[in-house]
Amino acid sequence: MGSRDAGIAMQLNAELQKFALAYLPRARVPLARSTAMGLAAFAVALLVRLGLAPWIRGLAFLTFYPAILIVSLFGGSWAGILVLGLGVTVGSSLWLEPITSPEWGLGTLVAVLAFLTFGCLMIGAVSLTHALLFALRDAEERASLVADEMRHRITNLFQLVQSIARLSAKSSDTTDEFMHSFTERLKALSEVQSGAAVNPRGISLHGLLEAMAATYGNDRLSYEGVDASPHPDTTLMLGLVLHELATNATKYGAWSASEGRVHVSWDIQGDVVRMRWQESGGPIVLGKARNGQAPVCSTAPSKAQAGA
């Protein structure tokens, strides 16, 4: 029975939440609309109370209680306050003894104070409910955006891994060469991805270059440019491009010589990052680089320039 009752309670809660999100306001009600709804609710409550007058003595605010609750739910706090203020004024004048009357006493005071107290409590509770609904709506929208972004990131990541595999296959003659090249590139991708995950804003351009300097030697790499945090997809591409350039520099370029140096500079124009990789002090390159090594480094930056 316990699990069954819990299931029923969860289902009821889900239905109530569904109803609230479907029919209750999902944003603050405009003042004009809230005022109109408050006046309409007051008029209905007053007419019903006048209609019940022949059968009910006392209970001046009987019909105003539900009016406050309902109009606060659908019209906002201002509508409820309007019904409360008009209700206590009109109800007191029509069905309660005036304060100057000798029959006015503690019972009248208690009735007025009770109406004001419970009316304020209802308005406050409904206002809190609205705040929770607004927070739930915002949380759902954020969750949807995060889910869409994650799907986009995962799709791009799989495509990137496929590109890395094809690139490694083109530049390798044996399975061992392929595995080594593929593993190194995946490692570079993982390092960039990890750096982006640690920083909510993503890893910056300076962060990418600092990580590279720590790997290949701080005294052999220099860089200059305004720091920025590109879009995570662009950061991944830039990280891989820099890894390819660093690998080539280590095997064939400046870093293959003891005096070799690399200088990286960039400028940002709108949404475009233009990066320059300059090597000095390396050996003289003879012959044409094998497809999959240097050529890919000349084309990959154009993809990274798609946006910052």
In a domain, 170, yes or no: no
236 Ramachandran zone, left/alpha/beta (phi>0; psi -120 to 50) = alpha
Task: Specify burial of residue 239 (Cβ count, 10 A radius: 0-12, 13-18, 19+).
Answer: buried
- Looking at residue 293, its pLDDT comes to 39
Q: Looking at the structure, do residues 114 and 228 belong to the same domain, yes or no?
A: no
For residue 180, which amino acid is it?
H
Q: Looking at the structure, do residues 281 and 203 belong to the same domain, yes or no?
A: yes
Q: Do 266 and 297 form a contact (C-beta atoms < 8 A)?
A: no
In a domain, 154, yes or no: no
Task: Specify burial of residue 54 (Cβ count, 10 A radius: 0-12, 13-18, 19+).
Answer: exposed
Q: Looking at the structure, do residues 131 and 190 belong to the same domain, yes or no?
A: no
Angle between helical axes of 77-95 and 64-75 (0-180°, round to 10): 160
Question: Dmax over Cα atoms in the chain, in whole Å?
Answer: 115
CA separation for the pair 239, 188 (Å, rounded): 7
Q: Looking at the structure, do residues 179 and 300 belong to the same domain, yes or no?
A: yes
Give the H or E element holding residue 191: helix 175-198
CA separation for the pair 188, 179 (Å, rounded): 14
CA separation for the pair 263, 151 (Å, rounded): 36
In a domain, 64, yes or no: yes
Q: Looking at the structure, do residues 299 and 181 belong to the same domain, yes or no?
A: yes
Task: Specify burial of residue 171 (Cβ count, 10 A radius: 0-12, 13-18, 19+).
Answer: buried
Tell me which residue range forms the domain holding 273. 175-304
CA separation for the pair 263, 255 (Å, rounded): 12
For residue 224, which amino acid is it?
E
199 Ramachandran zone, left/alpha/beta (phi>0; psi -120 to 50) = beta
In a domain, 161, yes or no: no
Q: Looking at the structure, do residues 294 and 185 belong to the same domain, yes or no?
A: yes
Q: Looking at the structure, do residues 217 and 265 belong to the same domain, yes or no?
A: yes
CA separation for the pair 20, 38 (Å, rounded): 20
For residue 273, list its beta bridge partners.
268
- Looking at residue 22, its pLDDT comes to 66
| pLDDT by position in tens, the chain (length 308) | 456 666 676 776 666 666 666 667 767 888 999 999 999 999 999 999 999 888 887 788 999 999 999 999 899 899 999 999 999 999 888 888 776 666 666 778 888 899 999 999 999 999 998 888 888 888 888 888 888 877 877 887 787 788 778 877 877 888 888 898 788 777 777 776 676 666 656 677 888 888 777 766 667 888 888 888 777 777 777 877 887 888 788 778 888 887 888 899 988 887 788 889 999 888 876 655 444 333 333 333 333 333 33
CA separation for the pair 245, 242 (Å, rounded): 5
How far does CA 71 lie from the centroid of its chain?
32
- Rounded to two decimals, the pTM is 0.51
Q: Looking at the structure, do residues 109 and 193 belong to the same domain, yes or no?
A: no
User: Can you say whether the dihedral through the CA atoms of 22, 28, 29, 34 is positive or negative?
Assistant: positive
Q: Looking at the structure, do residues 60 and 180 belong to the same domain, yes or no?
A: no
Q: Do 235 and 208 form a contact (C-beta atoms < 8 A)?
A: yes
- Looking at residue 99, its pLDDT comes to 66
Number of domains in the chain: 2
**Boundary-marking domain end, from 122, 143, 164:** 143
Exposure class string for 175-201: b at 16+ Cβ within 10 A, else e: eeebeebbeebeebbebbbebbeeeee
In a domain, 254, yes or no: yes
Paired tokens of 110? 């208690």
Q: Looking at the structure, do residues 270 and 198 belong to the same domain, yes or no?
A: yes
Q: Looking at the structure, do residues 118 and 234 belong to the same domain, yes or no?
A: no
Q: Looking at the structure, do residues 179 and 95 belong to the same domain, yes or no?
A: no
Q: Do 63 and 52 form a contact (C-beta atoms < 8 A)?
A: yes
CA separation for the pair 261, 107 (Å, rounded): 93
CA separation for the pair 35, 128 (Å, rounded): 20
